[in-house]
């Protein structure tokens, strides 16, 4: 969670959730900073573009749970839509063993990582060269056909070899489609939800998602994305008007 300090403006007053894109290392390989990628969509992200070296931000985290340890698998597919690619560079490096995080040593967990990345047009693609340099296979889709496959990223995924495990992050409709495809393929799938958050620590209950449960007569109950997620097993999510 990131916010601008010492402000009483109601809009930047609350923090905004961001994914860890990667850590910044010094000359001897020790982490000295965080790398965060954002798209300007509101007041806070607009203010971030005006900040200069030495300006201060309030940051709290890491929060919630992370991606699964998929050690022992051969092929993992990461599926991103829109700005959903932002948590995947660090995950690629962790899976392929080029970087360790949280004080853990680097070790190779899987043999192959394929990234399926879809956006509206080529102008919105970001991080592709980083993913390639990290060792991932990258497959692109754009709505207008300006780069890569013309169509939805899930349609692109269907045209390729089926990974042993899928991980997705992006808009709700994309992740719903990915969850249905994973169910059809009988492939495990985890999704990192992009639900807006206010406190980030589970107090305000503003970021709830519907999770299937046998303990409720409705068959689902609310869970806080910031502390119970943001990563959930796709099979546990209850989608609105799901079919």
Looking at residue 50, what is its pLDDT? Answer: 87
* Residue-wise pLDDT tens digits, 33-50: 999 998 888 888 888 888
Q: Are the C-beta atoms of residues 185 and 237 closer than 8 Å to each other?
A: no
Average pLDDT of the residues in 55-73: 92
Give the phi and the psi of residue 221 in degrees, each rounded to 5. Answer: -150, 165
H helices, E strands: number in the chain: 7, 13
| Mean pLDDT value across residues 20-29 | 92
For residue range 85-130, what is the model confidence (pLDDT) as tens digits? 999 999 999 999 999 998 889 999 999 999 999 999 999 999 999 9
Whole-number pLDDT of residue 193: 94
Q: 172 vs 14, which has greater pLDDT?
A: 172
CA distances from residue 170 to 53, 129, 134, 173, 176 in whole angstroms, order as listed: 30, 19, 21, 8, 10
Nearest to 68 by CA among 180, 236, 232, 235: 232
Over residues 191-201, the pLDDT tens digits come to: 999 888 888 89
Alpha helix stretches (DSSP H) within the chain? 10-13, 43-48, 88-96, 128-133, 153-158, 172-185, 225-228
- In this prediction, what percent of the chain has a pLDDT beyond 70? 96
pLDDT band at 12 (very low <50, low <70, confident <90, very high): low
Residue at token pair 């910044």: 24
pLDDT, average across residues 73-92: 96
Is the pLDDT assigned to residue 243 strictly greater than 50? no
pLDDT at 43: 81
DSSP-derived pairing of the beta strands 112-119 and 137-142: parallel
- Terminal Cα distance for the chain, rounded: 34
Stronger pLDDT, 57 or 108, i.e. the higher one: 108
- Entry field: residues in the chain: 243
Residue carrying the six token digits 């965080």: 34
pLDDT at 39: 87
Are 92 and 114 spatial neighbours (Cβ–Cβ below 8 Å)? no
Average pLDDT over every residue of 59-67: 91
pTM over 0.95: no
Q: Grade residue 214 by pLDDT with cuts at 50, 70 and 90.
A: confident
């Amino acid at each position: 969670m990131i916010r601008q300090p010492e402000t009483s403006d109601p809009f930047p007053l609350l923090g905004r959730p961001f994914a860890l894109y990667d850590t910044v290392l010094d000359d001897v390989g020790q982490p000295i900073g965080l790398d965060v990628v954002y798209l300007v969509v509101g007041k806070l992200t607009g203010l971030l573009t005006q900040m200069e070296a030495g300006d201060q931000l309030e940051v709290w985290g890491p929060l919630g749970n992370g991606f699964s340890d998929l050690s022992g698998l051969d092929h993992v597919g990461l599926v991103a839509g829109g700005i959903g690619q932002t948590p995947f560079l660090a995950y690629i490096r962790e899976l392929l063993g080029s970087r360790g995080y949280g004080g853990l040593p680097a070790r190779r967990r899987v043999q192959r990582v394929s990234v399926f990345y879809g956006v509206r047009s080529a102008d919105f693609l970001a991080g592709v060269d980083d993913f390639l340099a990290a060792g991932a296979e990258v497959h692109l889709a754009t709505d207008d056909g300006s780069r890569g496959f013309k169509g939805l990223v899930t349609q692109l995924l269907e045209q390729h070899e089926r990974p042993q495990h899928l991980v997705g992050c992006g808009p709700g409709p994309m992740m719903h489609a990915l969850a249905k495809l994973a169910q059809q393929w009988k492939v495990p799938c985890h999704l990192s939800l992009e639900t807006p958050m206010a406190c980030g620590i589970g107090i305000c209950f503003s970021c709830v998602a519907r999770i299937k449960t046998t303990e409720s007569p409705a068959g689902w109950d609310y869970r806080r994305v910031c502390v119970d997620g943001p990563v959930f097993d796709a099979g546990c999510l209850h989608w609105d008007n799901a079919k």
